[in-house]
Amino acid sequence: MTAATKDLDLPVLTPDDDRYDAVRTGFQTYRPHRPDVIVEARNSTDVQSAVRFAAADGLPVAVQSSGHGLATAADGGVLIATGAMADVRIDPTTRTVTAGAGALWKDVITAAAEHGLAPLSGSAPGVGVVGYTLGGGFGILSREFGYACDLVRSIDVVTADGEFHHVTAESDPDLFWALRGGRDNFGIVTAIEIELLEITRLYGGGLYFDIDLIPELLETYRTWTATVPDELTSAVALIPIPDIPAFPEPIRGKYVAHVRIAYTGSAAEGEQLVRPLREVGPILLDTLAEMPYTDCGSIYSDPPFPHSYTGNNAMLRELDPAAIADVFEIVGPEAPIDCVVEIRHLGGAMARKPQAPSAVGHRDAEFVVRVISMVDDDIDEARALHRSLFTALAPWTLGRNINFVYRGDPVKDPIDDAYDDYDRLVELKSAYDPSNMFRLNQNVS
């Protein structure tokens, strides 16, 4: 503990503490944060003290919950770890959840289900509520209900001057707009109040196809998505499945396409809707079924274990056959580095004007293409390969979304292309964080 931090009435860790490595390392294990001080905040007062301490010394401040979305790792400065602020309060009368800064979606899913409700969570229940929602939030039911940030009612935040604000669309429209899309560029969120959905079940799961069927499947998926109702949100991923016992025998060690489906209509209607996909050919593994919302993590089956990865994305105005061919050729089965590629169908409610506007850009995108590679020392090669895909996709690209940028190169890939009105974001950043204290992120500068 340094002399300065010793005087703080805060739970702090410094590099010589035993727990320092465990707390600074989250889900993303590629070069984790290495701050001078970690503040394990217990409440918003601790966050205020940490921010004021950093401001007095001119130190940058980073924030980490689950560590799924680490962008720019701290090298010095202060890291606010929010794991101890994981409280989840459901109000069944207003159909809302108030989630602390460290709450994960799985905590909310479980608590909401007890009241016959569900959040607009994403593919992986282990992701943090606040980071996901402030980045927009592509939910597994987003075509029906919009971006997760559209359902936010209020945000508690500590800004760079150490002040606490309870922000709503009415109390501070600018900050409410900027936080939803700008993430921690505008402050450290201590709690967030979000609307819940009256949903307890869905028809969902996955269909896995072998490599030979992939070109036909992708073409069928492209045309099929134009026919489905907003109640059906889907994606298709191309995955080199490792040859290890953790994966079921029919797909183990194979290069597969995995169609991911979530539909709020009946199972019988769902069966009818997915029929054109089933008709593409023999299915290696079929997990489509009626399920409680609490099992939604099984639909995408994202890896639940921490690992080291880089990834990026492009929001496309349309899915042209030539774009699909580029995906298959550049980051498909013959790619020099293993890539998991996912094409998610957007549109529906995501394309409609939300009640309270947010900084999240490209609502008119019909698809997002994302690519992820596990990396070690080859991160630059992986980034270059991903970049070559996005260069090829440029004719159809509107920009990016920050939630699907993982350890991108902040110099070669500045994040301004994630927004429709970057100038307004920059103007608000200058007002709320003039010294760019919150710069260890996808930085608005």
Ligand X SMILES: Cc1cc2nc3c(=O)[nH]c(=O)nc-3n(C[C@H](O)[C@H](O)[C@H](O)COP(=O)(O)OP(=O)(O)OC[C@H]3O[C@@H](n4cnc5c(N)ncnc54)[C@H](O)[C@@H]3O)c2cc1C
Residue 127 engages ligand X in binding (rule: CB under 6 A): yes
CB of 260 to ligand X, least distance (A): 10
CA 400 to each of CA 225, 370, 393, 418: distance values in angstroms, whole numbers, following the listed order: 21, 10, 12, 5
Q: Could you tell me where the beta strands, DSSP code E, fall in 65-216?
A: 78-81, 88-91, 96-100, 152-158, 164-167, 188-195, 201-210
Find, among 245, 244, 241, the residue nearest to 256 by Cα: 241
Residue 346 engages ligand X in binding (rule: CB under 6 A): no
Residue type, 364: D
Residue 144 engages ligand X in binding (rule: CB under 6 A): no
Binding mask 424-443 for ligand X (x = CB under 6 A): -----------------x--
Q: Which residue in this structure is represented by tokens 């009640």?
A: 355
CB of 326 to ligand X, least distance (A): 23
Residue 154 engages ligand X in binding (rule: CB under 6 A): no
Per CB under 6 A, contacts with ligand X among 206-245 are: none
Residue 137 engages ligand X in binding (rule: CB under 6 A): yes
CB of 361 to ligand X, least distance (A): 14
Residue 138 engages ligand X in binding (rule: CB under 6 A): yes
Binding mask 297-316 for ligand X (x = CB under 6 A): -----x--------------
Per CB under 6 A, contacts with ligand X among 7-46 are: 26
> In terms of DSSP bridges, do strands 78-81 and 37-40 run parallel, antiparallel, or are they unpaired?
parallel
**β-sheet bridge partners, residue 341:** 238, 371
List the alpha helices (DSSP H) in 135-213: 142-145, 173-182
Residue 65 engages ligand X in binding (rule: CB under 6 A): yes
Residue 67 engages ligand X in binding (rule: CB under 6 A): yes
Residue 130 engages ligand X in binding (rule: CB under 6 A): yes
Q: Are 17 and 10 in contact (CB under 8 A)?
A: no
Cα–Cα distance, 12 to 79 (Å, whole number): 10
Q: Which of 71, 97, 117, 257 binds ligand X (CB under 6 A)?
A: 71
List the alpha helices (DSSP H) in 183-260: 214-225
Find, among 225, 417, 239, the residue nearest to 312 by Cα: 417
Q: Output 141 or 214, the one with its CB closest to ligand X.
A: 141
Compute the chain's Rg from CA coordinates.
Answer: 21
Size of the site for ligand X (CB under 6 A): 32
Residue 188 engages ligand X in binding (rule: CB under 6 A): yes
Q: Which of 184, 326, 342, 366 binds ligand X (CB under 6 A)?
A: 184
Residue 87 engages ligand X in binding (rule: CB under 6 A): no
Q: Which of 69, 119, 354, 399 binds ligand X (CB under 6 A)?
A: 69
Residue 82 engages ligand X in binding (rule: CB under 6 A): yes
Cα–Cα distance, 314 to 212 (Å, whole number): 26
Q: Which of 44, 48, 64, 154 binds ligand X (CB under 6 A)?
A: 64
Q: Output 302 or 420, the one with its CB closest to ligand X.
A: 302
CA 144 to each of CA 102, 229, 237: distance values in angstroms, whole numbers, following the listed order: 27, 9, 21
Cα–Cα distance, 130 to 105 (Å, whole number): 9
Q: Output 218 or 360, the one with its CB closest to ligand X.
A: 360
Binding site for ligand X (CB under 6 A): 26, 63-71, 82, 101, 122-124, 127-128, 130-132, 134-138, 183-184, 188-189, 302, 403, 441
